[in-house]
Chains A and B, each alone.
Chain A
């Protein structure tokens, strides 16, 4: 019986490496998207850009618990998830309310606590700037810039924001020396504790909705915008999209509300909340060492900036 279990255990690696090169990208469009991504003109007070909450130096996320939106509004109660490798998430936002990056960009733009823009203002602003007019004309061959084009270009840019070739990916591709023995043991523990049942796939997460605190009856953390806000089913309270663990060392603080500052604490709490066990300190260290091997290269399009 146990042998059977262990056969399942090592049957296959349920994590895929990130491709080294991105395919099917319209480069001009991606560059236009990049310009837009960095331009605060997309927000109502012209102070907030996409990049404000998805900083390259913070692994594509924010380094704080709550992001600051337009007019210095605090974007409570959710922590900004990383934009890196977001293209591999099956849904966007913590509760998966956007089906793709384009929709996510639009929703973020319209959110009064994020950019607080509307279609009319956005189009009016962009169409009054000759630089954008000529850039959009080149990409879309249209004289009038629509909001749809803006989100489309941003999506194209975000598709390029992948962080390939982390040491763990090298390991997956066959380089057994890419990980130290400590890190390899971390990966083994990651699997044997069962972390991998939720954190799998190319993004090591991002492909299912799970309840926070399977083993906790009365969780103290505020719910925030959970799956319930989308489905309105009582079973979906405290249900969130499983976050990616790629670049996890760079994207503190952790959890949906950014309430956990250290990675070790996050590993410990996940064991307690969702595995029903207290993971020993040593094992936490190993797992942390493994998670740190998931930091990949800066996306090519951002290099040299």
Chain B
């Protein structure tokens, strides 16, 4: 139970873990998607920014190289970079997640703002320089030049060309030193004047143009952007590594989870198999159980059931303890199983009750008489076996009921009950009329109830004789008057009475009759049967205390108690002890049948032992009976008890028992029971 609880806890644990895993996967993929999307957009924009930067520098260089240039290209690039910067700057993910890169990016932004100013500045020198260049080049066509002038102009132009293309300021210094400059300034030729003006602008603007161009080209924007990009990639790689580790962990976690799940499922499977085994098997003997029998029997078309029962197993359990009882059951079960295994492997054995074993056979294979033979063989085998447990050696008797009719087990059980009622038989085949038992029982129950109500319960008296055939006392027997010609012994009603808890009523009736007789005949001694149930019944006990403890009554009374019925041993012992104070005597009835326990009888402080009829009946021929009776007599003598032989049905029996030392005799040979007492 604890293990199952443990298992279900594990299952819940796995479910929770599974849910956590799913949650982690979902949030992980959600985050990863968001991360990927944002990072991709940042990287894409950084890339575009880098490209735009390169394009801008290219455009600026082109603008400085070509005299004619579409400046839209530059200003458009500037606006584009601004837009990209704005977009990146407002990207919260960039700001919060790529802190280092973002910091560099902000530095880049500052650098770009500076660069933008530089570009505007640069353009303010770049364009006039170009205009001057255009004019200086064109002016050759307009100016009227003599040979010295030409040389001067050519020198100027070559210096300008060299300065523009080398980027070296040295060439400009040469121009300023030339004396011809002044002549041009004062010349009436407007073109010459314009030539000088443009030259001056060129000389004035070129160093600034050059300074700004270099400043722009060497601006830190590129370094900052590169650094931002590098740091972005570092963070990105770190994150990707983290993602990788995380997904490994997740995979390991899920694999572990699946492994655990498989383990739990296997365990559960094992448990289910265990439960199934327990469901279908008896834990004591390992045999299959009643549930399995009911299941299996459906698979056979014409089944036959032999139901075995250990006779008086309850006594064995009581006397030797349940430990030995359990061992015995186990051994009996396994012996039976082996017996059938050797006999026919198709026969299955089940333990269907405490000491009930059922063999299920195929009815087609075995005829009815063969079934009986099998049962007999099995019983013989087990009865011949000695079961040894430490110092105890046990022999057992078995009975069997057989059925080939539905309901098999119930019918076999009914047949078995029938066996128990009949001492002579050990095996009984279920027949339809057995089924009538129930009806019979109902009928009997009705009969006995009516008999009690209409005072048709009467006592019979059977004298008990001493060795000289003098009447020593009478045993009070009970008869039921069915009608005038049919008077039955109470014997056949005993079971019903006990079942219906009416037995004490009969005892009370008999006690009343007995009391009348005792009052009527002052010398009369009576032996009255008391069941253990009576001893426990308050009405009966009160009646006995009230009426039978008077001195002249008590000493003439003997109560006969059936030893095998004793369940509440202490209560009985107490009762006997109390009653003996008043002089009432006690006898053990049917002593020697079943499991008579000498030591217990000794403790009960009994006066008489009534030797069981089955021992007396065949005593003349049966050596075993003789031996047992001898033992009982010697036991009685040595413990100061008198013996009574029942069932003395012939002269031979009388003589033999007398010779063996029995004290009193009872039986048809001497006198049958009579409704009245003849003194």
Give the interface of A toward B (CB within 8 A).
Answer: 1-2, 5, 8-9, 11-12, 14-16, 88, 90-91, 99, 191-194, 196-198, 200-203, 207-211, 214-215, 227, 231, 233, 235, 239, 274-278
Judge whether A215 and B130 touch: CB under 8 Å: no
Judge whether B75 and A208 touch: CB under 8 Å: yes
Question: Of A192, A193, A198, A200, which one neighbours B72 at CB under 8 angstroms?
Answer: A200
Tell me whether B419 is interfacial, beta carbon within 8 Å.
no
From DSSP, what is the main secondary structure of chain A's interface residues? loop
Q: With A193-B134, A208-B120, A214-B201 as given contacts, are A277 and B127 in contact (CB-CB < 8 Å)?
A: no
Question: Of A8, A202, A239, which one neighbours B66 at CB under 8 angstroms?
Answer: A8
Shortest CB distance A242–B (Å): 8
Once bound together, how far apart are the Cα atoms of A192 and B128, in whole Å? 13
Most buried by B among A198, A214, A215, A233: A214
Contact with A along B87-129 (1 / 0, CB 8 A): 0000000000000000000000000000001001101100110
Judge whether A194 and B134 touch: CB under 8 Å: yes
Shortest CB distance A101–B (Å): 13
Shortest CB distance A209–B (Å): 5
Judge whether B75 and A278 touch: CB under 8 Å: no
Shortest CB distance B118–A (Å): 12
Shortest CB distance B68–A (Å): 5
Question: Of B70, B123, B158, which one neighbours A14 at CB under 8 angstroms?
Answer: B70
CB neighbours of A9 from chain B (8 A):
67-68, 134
Q: With A14-B68, A215-B197 as given contacts, are A198 and B127 in contact (CB-CB < 8 Å)?
A: yes
Judge whether B68 and A12 touch: CB under 8 Å: yes
Residue of B nearest to A198 (CB): B127
Shortest CB distance A196–B (Å): 6
Judge whether B79 and A90 touch: CB under 8 Å: yes
Judge whether B68 and A90 touch: CB under 8 Å: no
Judge whether B68 and A210 touch: CB under 8 Å: no
Judge whether B72 and A274 touch: CB under 8 Å: no
Judge whether B123 and A192 touch: CB under 8 Å: no
Judge whether B135 and A209 touch: CB under 8 Å: no
Residue of B nearest to A277 (CB): B194
Question: Of A15, A201, A210, which one neighbours B123 at CB under 8 angstroms?
Answer: A210
Residue of B nearest to A233 (CB): B117
Judge whether B127 and A210 touch: CB under 8 Å: yes
Judge whether A274 and B131 touch: CB under 8 Å: yes
CB neighbours of A208 from chain B (8 A):
71, 74-75, 120, 123-124, 127
Question: Of B117, B130, B197, which one neighbours A197 at CB under 8 angstroms?
Answer: B130
Residue of B nearest to A5 (CB): B137
CB neighbours of A215 from chain B (8 A):
197, 201
Tell me whether B236 is interfacial, beta carbon within 8 Å.
no
From DSSP, what is the main secondary structure of chain B's interface residues? helix
CB neighbours of A227 from chain B (8 A):
120
Tell me whether B515 is interfacial, beta carbon within 8 Å.
no
Give the interface of B toward A (CB within 8 A).
Answer: 66-76, 78-79, 82, 117, 120-121, 123-124, 127-128, 130-135, 137-138, 140, 157-158, 161, 190, 194, 197-198, 201
CB neighbours of B73 from chain A (8 A):
201
Residue of A nearest to B161 (CB): A1
Judge whether A16 and B140 touch: CB under 8 Å: no
CB neighbours of B133 from chain A (8 A):
5
- 10 closest A-B pairs by CB: A201-B72, A90-B75, A194-B131, A276-B197, A207-B71, A194-B134, A14-B70, A277-B194, A207-B75, A14-B68
Once bound together, how far apart are the Cα atoms of A75 and B117, in whole Å? 29
Q: With A210-B127, A239-B124 as given contacts, are A276 and B201 in contact (CB-CB < 8 Å)?
A: yes
Once bound together, how far apart are the Cα atoms of A9 and B140, in whole Å? 16
Once bound together, how far apart are the Cα atoms of A73 and B477, in whole Å? 148
Shortest CB distance B202–A (Å): 10
Question: Of A8, A197, A202, which one neighbours B131 at CB under 8 angstroms?
Answer: A197
Once bound together, how far apart are the Cα atoms of A192 and B141, in whole Å? 12
CB neighbours of A233 from chain B (8 A):
117
Once bound together, how far apart are the Cα atoms of A198 and B70, in whole Å? 9
Residue of A nearest to B82 (CB): A99
Residue of A nearest to B127 (CB): A197
Shortest CB distance B192–A (Å): 11
Q: List 19 A-B contacts (CB under 8 A).
A: A5-B134, A8-B68, A16-B70, A90-B75, A196-B68, A197-B68, A200-B68, A200-B71, A200-B72, A202-B72, A208-B74, A209-B120, A209-B123, A211-B124, A211-B128, A227-B120, A231-B117, A274-B131, A276-B201
Judge whether A2 and B127 touch: CB under 8 Å: no
Question: Of B68, B82, B161, which one neighbours A11 at CB under 8 angstroms?
Answer: B68
Judge whether B117 and A14 touch: CB under 8 Å: no
Judge whether A201 and B134 touch: CB under 8 Å: no
Judge whether A197 and B75 touch: CB under 8 Å: no
Question: Of A8, A90, A203, which one neighbours B67 at CB under 8 angstroms?
Answer: A8
- 10 more contacts with CB within 8 A, not counting A235-B124, A275-B135, are A1-B158, A5-B134, A8-B67, A12-B68, A191-B68, A207-B72, A214-B201, A233-B117, A276-B132, A276-B197
CB neighbours of B134 from chain A (8 A):
5, 9, 192-194, 197
Once bound together, how far apart are the Cα atoms of A26 and B73, in whole Å? 26
CB neighbours of A90 from chain B (8 A):
72, 75-76, 78-79
Judge whether A235 and B68 touch: CB under 8 Å: no
Most buried by B among A8, A192, A274, A276: A276
Shortest CB distance B70–A (Å): 4
CB neighbours of B82 from chain A (8 A):
99
Once bound together, how far apart are the Cα atoms of A14 and B70, in whole Å? 5
